[in-house]
Amino acid sequence: MRNLYIALMIFFIAWLIFSVVNAQGVLLLAKPSLLLQLPVQHIFIGSGLILSLLCFTWASAMRSYSMVILALFFAVKALSILVAGGISFFGLFTHNIYLLNTELLFFANLSNMLFFSFTIKLFSLKKRGENSYQLLLGLAIVMTVMVPLSYVFGDRAATWLLTQIPISISLLALLYVASTVREEKRRLTKIYSLILVVQLSFNMMAYLLYYWRFSAQVIHGLDMVAFWFMAIMVNYLMGRKYYCHIRDEKLAKQQVLASAKASDLVQKNLLALQDESQEQSENRVQERTLELNIALQELEAVNQVLKEKNTLDELSGLYNRRYYDEKIMAEFRRSRRNLTPLSLILVDIDHFKNVNDSYGHLTGDKCIVEVASMINALLRRGTDVGCRYGGEEFCLILPETDEKGALALAQKICQSVSQQYILNNESVIDLTVSCGVTTYQQEQDVTPEIIFDRADKALYKAKQAGRDQVQVSKIKLL
């Protein structure tokens, strides 16, 4: 790599000398009479060519698509500065004054769009900055549309202003994009932002020189200085990126080596343990086995607690809807296997929306807790399951319970709730519930969904009949 740098430096110096001596011959293709009077532009063209070649060399060495775009950017940017200085490249192909008037805006906007592309690639905006990517894409479309506008401007000064304004807007947009770059790219944004700020300063100076009516040669010289400052800083930026890339690779290799050493150390320790006596090994195995059993018991206890949290409704203390879905399927299969009845009770708090609207949701939650407590107290058997199905609705699964037993329990729930008064500050809330009951008695082609549907229809009948009562719906299939 060091030899490559030395070769590039020799090549750069040789080409610079060659370009100063022979630039006149290179530029004779454009306007020979004009170029003979502009030796500074000779140096600019020669050095611009070597800059582009250096960028292509960097691109080949680093295998970087960003450097290819950067090389194209410097070439087009140099062309736009030469056009602003009075050299016409379109003049080689046409003498149409209107088409020649679009040349400056064409090269300037093309260089802006190439720098947008370089920025998108540098900071991976397609993957990590969708909004910034869309912003730059929109600006590129606007700049493309602006090029034909210069066709109607006959005044070169107006065309120059039409060129500078998009440059200023582009620099401000790129500063915004740099401020939104994620943390892993922050180490490059400071240099990148400095480049933009200085370029924006040069741009403002160009406006002032134009306002104070300085000569076009002065403004053109300022453009060249700005170009070379940007070239130096952007190449430094890419060198910094390459350095960071090499450093990160080196750190990654060091981490891999450290991991390998740690692995070797662990393997050596394992071999040392294997070399110990059989008796010591057995004792250690027994100790580890005991520790593992204790850890498994503790893990089982923790899993049980987590399972309860996942199946319990936090507000009511009853089981939740997820547990209901699992339990009803299990009890349905057991009922069908053992030929035992399975009853289902749906309980719904009457006029619960009015309670929420009149007293607030906190009072509504209190009512749900009270009703859930009464239901839980009335479930005597360990096999009976109470669940909060959703909102103010509860569902009770009663294995090995016939219709008569389910009806009696539902009536007790209605009676207990209607006799209970819930205090809310100075108010007393009278609650009632409606219940729907159904019982599965080994009917053919019945599913848990059909059982729930029959209980829901019974609950609807209770609501329609005036609430605060129990209705029974039998399972009848055609």
Question: What amino acid is encoded at 76 in this protein?
Answer: V
Active-site annotation holder among 103, 331, 392, 393: 392
Paired sense of beta strands 421-424 and 385-390, if any? unpaired
Does residue 118 contact residue 76 with C-beta atoms inside 8 Å?
no
Contacts of 43 (CB under 8 A, 6+ apart): 16, 19, 20, 23
* Sign of the alpha-carbon torsion through 418, 420, 422, 427: positive
Largest CA distance in the chain: 114
Spell out the residues 6+ positions from residue 468 whose beta carbon is closer than 8 angstroms to its own.
Answer: 350, 414, 418, 432, 433, 434
Both tokens assigned to 151: 């066709």
- Count the Cβ atoms, other than its own, within 10 Å of residue 288: 10
Instruction: From 76, 83, 85, select the one nearest 102 (Cα to Cα).
Output: 83
For residue 331, indicate whether it is catalytic: no
* Interatomic CA distance for residues 337 and 339, integer angstroms: 6
Inter-residue contact 170 to 112 (CB < 8 Å)? yes
Active-site residues, by number, are 392
